[in-house]
Amino acid sequence: MALTDTKIRKELKPKEKEYKAYDEKGLYMVVTPKGKLLWKQKIYFEGKELKLSHGSYPEIKIPAAREKRDQARSDAANGIDPSRKKKAKKLSRLFTAEETFENIAVEWHLKFSAKWTEDHSKRILERLKKDIFPWIGKYRIAEITPPELLGVLSRIEKRGAIETAHRALQNCGQIFRYAIQTCRATQDITVVLRGALQPVKTQHHPSITDPKEIGALLRSFSDYRGHFVTKCALLFAPLVFVRPGELRQAEWSEISLEESIWHIPAEKMKMREKHIVPLSRQAVAILKELSTLTGHGKYVFPSIRTPNRPMSNNTVLGALRRLGYTSDEMTGHGFRSMACTLLNEQGWNRDAIELQLAHAERNSSRASYNYAEQLPLRKEMMQAWSDYLDSLIVEISTI
């Protein structure tokens, strides 16, 4: 039978030995020989029995004690260790708020996000808010243990988001190292967790790399009967093999047809570094023809609906689908894989290829490089690449 104020007052008298009086759902009261009335709770978390303390009666009245009990049960049901949460709350009164994982993570994000694209910055913060902060955000960062962090990452892993778990681990490592640098932690506990997660199955963007099939693909672009701007984007994309977002947001002010150069500003690039795209004769010819239609506006490839916005994310992808290429065969990113594969096979300088692809993952000894590095070689490579693609169109048309 549940406890009431009347029952506590009349029946719970001190005895020679400590005893318990039960309420409901694991909540009970301990009566000490000295007459103290202490709220306790028995609860199970991940198969382990926990005993929680919720203060003393009458300072903590029955409704308040039951509210604490229900909160603990809710936390346990949602994968939060109630005893650990209680400890963290207690520690928060002893240490400054800056020492919690969440606050240090937000501080780290604010400091370094200026170097990232808006989408990249948003993805990292959303990942932390969804998958990390609810479980260890309020813990003092210096007291988080490897098993605790692994438990959080395992929750992500169990729902099948293996790559997200690895990215979260990487972000946590960056946050721990920042905490060490700012004297709020002494070790990066993510180091000992390397190899603790399931390996990521490498997934490449679907791409066509067989020369005969590439010729057929390019021929279909020439025969495309859709919107003229979309057709130009299809023809231009394989010649420059930039990321889809960089392609659709190209502006006329960034392009010099006289110098055959496209300067992409840092804020449009994935890692916020300026990028140069040498334009082949074929690429310049496409742009000159397109300039009669869109050259008076801001964007090279504007939206069909309004010239004040770039074409949508799905325009090129949709055109590929209308041409009969499925998501398993070719995507907008696929032009990059196509160029990377064949240029390497053709023996072009690997560094020149990586520079032209503007890959984020560069050799650490070359991490800080001039964005115009190896430009003469890259110009030669880009012209040779366009000539090679032209040869494939001719070959396929003569079969």
Annotated catalytic, 359? Answer: yes
Active site residue 270: yes
**Options 270, 274, 298, 321, the catalytic residue:** 270
7 is catalytic: no
Closest CA to 45 of 76, 8, 73, 24: 76
146 with 193: CB under 8 angstroms?
Answer: yes
Structure tokens at 399: 């079969």
- Taking residue 36's Cβ as centre, other Cβ atoms within 10 Å add up to 13
Please say whether the beta carbons of 316 and 332 come within 8 A: yes
Q: Which of 297, 259, 291, 290 is nearest to 276 (CA)?
A: 259
Which of the residues 243, 248, 275, 378 is marked catalytic?
A: 243
Long-range pairs for 300-306: beta carbons < 8 A, 24 or more residues apart: 300/250, 300/251, 300/252, 300/255, 301/229, 301/232, 301/233, 301/247, 301/248, 301/250, 302/229, 304/227, 304/229, 304/230
336 has catalytic annotation: yes
**DSSP track, 140-193:** BGGG--HHHHHHHHHHHHHTT-HHHHHHHHHHHHHHHHHHHHTTS-S--GGGGG
Catalytic residue list contains 388: no
* Alpha carbons 2 and 258: distance in angstroms, whole number: 86
Rounded to whole angstroms, how far apart are CA atoms 30 and 33?
A: 10
In sequence order, the β-bridge partners of residue 40 are 28, 53
Tokens at 265, concatenated: 């500003």
The residue annotated as part of the active site, out of 22, 369, 371, 388, is 369
- Give the Cα separation of 83 and 319 in Å (integer): 56
Identified catalytic residue from 123, 127, 333, 362: 333
Q: What is the DSSP string of 58-126?
A: TTS-HHHHHHHHHHHHHHHHTT--HHHHHHHHHHHTTS-GGGBHHHHHHHHHHHHGGGS-HHHHHHHHH
190 in Cβ contact with 361 (< 8 Å): no
Catalytic residues: 243, 270, 333, 336, 359, 369
